[in-house]
Structures are given as C-alpha cells and as structure tokens.
Amino acid sequence: MDMPTKTDITKLRVNGQRLWDSLMELAQIGATEKGGVCRLTLTDLDKQGRDLVTRWAREAGMTVTVDKIGNVFMRRAGRSNMPPIMTGSHIDTQPTGGKFDGNYGVLAGIEVVRTLNDHGIETEAPIEVAFWTNEEGSRFVPVMMGSGVFAKAFTLEHAYAATDTEGKTVKGELARIGYIGEQEPGDHPIGAYFETHIEQGPVLEDHDKTIGVVTGVLGIRWYDCVVTGMEAHAGPTPMALRKDALQVAAKLMQEVVACAHRHPPHGRGTVGMVQVHPNSRNVIPGRVKFSIDLRNATDALCEAMDADIRAVAAKLSAESGLSIEITPVSAYPAQPFHADCIAAVQKAADTLGYSNMRAVSGAGHDAVYMARLAPAGMIFIPCKDGISHNEIEDAQPAHIEAGCNVLLQAMLERAG
C-alpha cells in the first residue's frame, strides 16, 4: 500500500466512540458504587485489567513484552527497527480512583494503533504502548515504581522488597498474578515518549481550553517542621508568659502559602498534615509537627522557596524564642519536557484547530522518568472541576477524543 500524503495524514481522526467504550469497559473492572474504580496494583482486579488491555493489543496485531517489574510494552511494528515512538501511562488506580487517571493514556495509545490499522498506515519507527506498574503508589511505595525501575531511579531489588499493609511483597504479588516478565527493566530503547492525561487540576477548564501543551512537571520539596514551646495550663498562664507552639506554627503555616505567592506563576505551598501535642482543650500546645510541600517549575525556584521559608522560620524563632526545626523528607527534581515533543503537541493542537495553552503538571507522572531517557512530552485535557483521585472524576467524551487526536498526530510526526 502506498503511504498517504502528509495532507492525508493530518486529516486522520481517531474513533472517539470506540475509545470511550474501551474506557467504560475497563472501568467495569473494580467499579465502585459512586461511579469510580478501585483497582489497586497487583491485585486480582489489576490482573483482570492487564489481561483485558493486552488482549485488545493482540487483537490489534501488537506483540506484547513484559519486563521483570511487570511493565507491559505493546508494539506495532514499523518499517524499520528504529527505537519505538512510545506512549503510555498506568492502569492501577487509587482506592477511590476514577475512570480516566492513567487509563486514558493507555487506551488512547491503543486507539492510535487501531486508527492506523483502520487506514492501513505504516510508520517508519514502531509504535509502542506501555503501561507501567504501580504508578499510584497507593498499595506499595515508591510511587511511579515501574517507570522508576525502568529509568534506574531505584533498583529492581528495592521495588521487589516493598510490602503492603498485610506484608505482601511486590515480587510475590507480581508472581501471583503472572506478570513477572523476562526482560531486564530498561533494556528497551525508546525513540520518544508521549503521555496523554487528564489535567487533574482546574486550569484548563478555568481558561476554557481543550488541550494543555505540557512544558514540564513541577519540582517538589517535602519537609517535616517541628515547633517546640512549653505545655502549660490554659487558665493560670498569662498571655505574655506563654510559649505557645501552635501560634508560632500557625504563622509559619501561613508563610508557606505566602511563599508560593512570592514565587509566581507556578509556586505551590501546602500544609496538609498537622499534629498538636498534647492536643488537649485546656493545655497550651507545647509541640506542633506539620508537613510542608513546596513546588515550582524549576529546581532553582524550588531552592529559592526553600531559602525563603527557612529565613522566615529563623525570624519567627528569633522573635518568639521557640525552636523551629525544618527537616527535608524527600525531593523530586523539576522535569522540563523536550522542546521537539512540546512543539509536536503544539503543532498537532493548532493543526487540528483545538483551543490550547501551555501548561505545567503539578503531579508526578511516568513521563517524568521517561524524560530522563528520551525526548518526552505530555498532552493534558480538562477534567470536570479539576477533580481527580476521586470516584467522581469526570471528563467530556469530546475532550477525550481531542486529546487522542493530538496524540495521533504528534506520534506520527515523530514516527515518520
């Protein structure tokens, strides 16, 4: 068969109804009463989901490879043995997960292949669809486990040894569901990687845009902060003589949010966990421990926010006489995406006539690790009210189709 001209290829469109139907069928595995999905990694339900998706891949003429951490690669051959142009995400969910987080990125890839099959189009490079083990991290930590092992961010042995609340190991559960493969994680070249995803935030919807051209993923800095004062009776202790840890902590918590505002437009500052000791109604708090979550678009900005919050803490400590300790817990570097992949997504959205805007991802995705290995990019679509990791997570069929059309065009540009 002759290759269609480029003009013809830009007219290619995916079958939006087929993609939607696939999403809804996968969502039945682990469906919850509120319309969401609970399909935790390496459970019997995860096996059912994996079996369904790999069956669809084989029906589409793809070959399936599994590596030792259970990552699954579904390949449509190209005319050459160039490294594949890959897309993918994950099919494990949160305990109160939705139908689209991760699942959309995998099934959009399957739909790209089905569309190429429908039109008899060959690509120079192979097209590959991946789903990565334990992206969510809700049963086993670390999060983004499969892609992390693949990218050598941590070892296979470290991942295998991780246990759930019942003491079951990743290795044992992978073996139990039959998804320990032969391939060494990472022994699998990638030419370029794209990931399609719901935004999981409200920005696209707020701007009434269909496509987010994702330029990168925010860097993250997590800390534990402890403010130490002195417990005392709430009645007999005059205000001027108190060492109230909670009042000092409250000021610092507000400064975490203010710090984000001081580093716009992508600064984020959150206090999500607070422990007050002794947590008694008529005792002045003597010790407060709380979490600090700082994020920004570059590592330099993350470092600036770190310096900012430490300076504020030192000032508050000096003024109050109370000890303030800030201890780093974990850090994830900011990950910019590749200019060529960003441009491919931008061009596809413009060519297809979809309203779009540049966007950053505030959440981690498997694309973060893939970007260490190959040119990578992401495509966002809106989700209703920006809600995700929730059973009411929702996306419009028109947006689902649009994101997949952008993926199709971007992948074809890279695959030739």
Q: Are residues 322 and 371 in the same domain?
A: no
Q: Are residues 299 and 390 in the same domain?
A: no
Residue 21 falls inside a structural domain: yes
Q: What percent of the chain has pLDDT over 70?
A: 98
What residue has token string 């951490």? Answer: 69
Please check the confidence at residue 5 and state whether its pLDDT lies above 60: no
Select from 307, 332, 357 the last residue of a domain.
332
Residue 195 falls inside a structural domain: yes
Q: What interhelical angle do 299-320 and 245-261 show, nearest 10?
A: 150
Select from 303, 332, 361 the last residue of a domain.
332
Please check the confidence at residue 3 and state whether its pLDDT lies above 90: no
- Our count of domains for the chain comes to 2
Q: Which domain holds residue 81?
A: 6-217+334-415
DSSP string, 93-159: --TTB-SSTTHHHHHHHHHHHHHHHHTT---SS-EEEEE-TTSS-SSSSSSSHHHHHHTTSS-HHHH
Q: How many angstroms from the chain centroid is the CA of residue 155?
A: 20
Q: Are residues 385 and 269 in the same domain?
A: no
Please check the confidence at residue 106 and state whether its pLDDT lies above 90: yes
Query: Mind listing the pLDDT tens digit for each residue in 48-97?
Result: 999 999 999 999 999 999 999 999 999 999 999 999 999 999 999 999 99
Q: Are residues 211 and 303 in the same domain?
A: no
Q: Are residues 317 and 375 in the same domain?
A: no
3-state helix, strand, coil in the chain (%, to 5): 40, 25, 40
How big is the chain, counted in residues?
416
Q: What does the alpha-carbon distance between residue 74 and residue 70 come to, in Å, rounded to a whole number?
A: 13
Q: Are residues 91 and 17 in the same domain?
A: yes
Residue 1 falls inside a structural domain: no
Q: What is the mean pLDDT of the chain?
A: 96
Question: pTM higher than 0.75 for the full model?
Answer: yes
Query: Mind listing the pLDDT tens digit for each residue in 236-267?
Result: 999 999 999 999 999 999 999 999 999 999 99
Please report, for the domain that includes residue 202, its CATH number.
3.40.630.10
Q: What percent of the chain has pLDDT over 90?
A: 95
Q: Are residues 277 and 375 in the same domain?
A: no
Q: Are residues 314 and 211 in the same domain?
A: no
pLDDT band at 8 (very low <50, low <70, confident <90, very high): confident
* Helix, coil or strand: residue 408: helix
Q: What does the alpha-carbon distance between residue 88 and residue 98 come to, in Å, rounded to a whole number?
A: 17
Please check the confidence at residue 390 and state whether its pLDDT lies above 90: no
Query: Mind listing the pLDDT tens digit for each residue in 298-314?
Result: 999 999 999 999 999 99
Q: Are residues 195 and 229 in the same domain?
A: no
Residue 306 falls inside a structural domain: yes
Q: Are residues 38 and 165 in the same domain?
A: yes
Please check the confidence at residue 165 and state whether its pLDDT lies above 60: yes
Q: Are residues 408 and 313 in the same domain?
A: no
**Predicted pLDDT of residue 2:** 45
Structure tokens belonging to residue 25: 């069928």
Q: Are residues 17 and 142 in the same domain?
A: yes
Please report, for the domain that includes residue 223, its CATH number.
3.30.70.360
Structure tokens belonging to residue 180: 């320990």
Looking at 170-218, list the stretches that DSSP marks H as alpha helix, in order from N- to C-terminal side.
170-177, 203-207
**Predicted pLDDT of residue 6:** 52
Residue 373 falls inside a structural domain: yes
Select from 287, 309, 332 the last residue of a domain.
332
Query: Mind listing the pLDDT tens digit for each residue in 173-205?
Result: 999 999 999 999 999 999 999 999 999 999 999
**Predicted pLDDT of residue 416:** 87
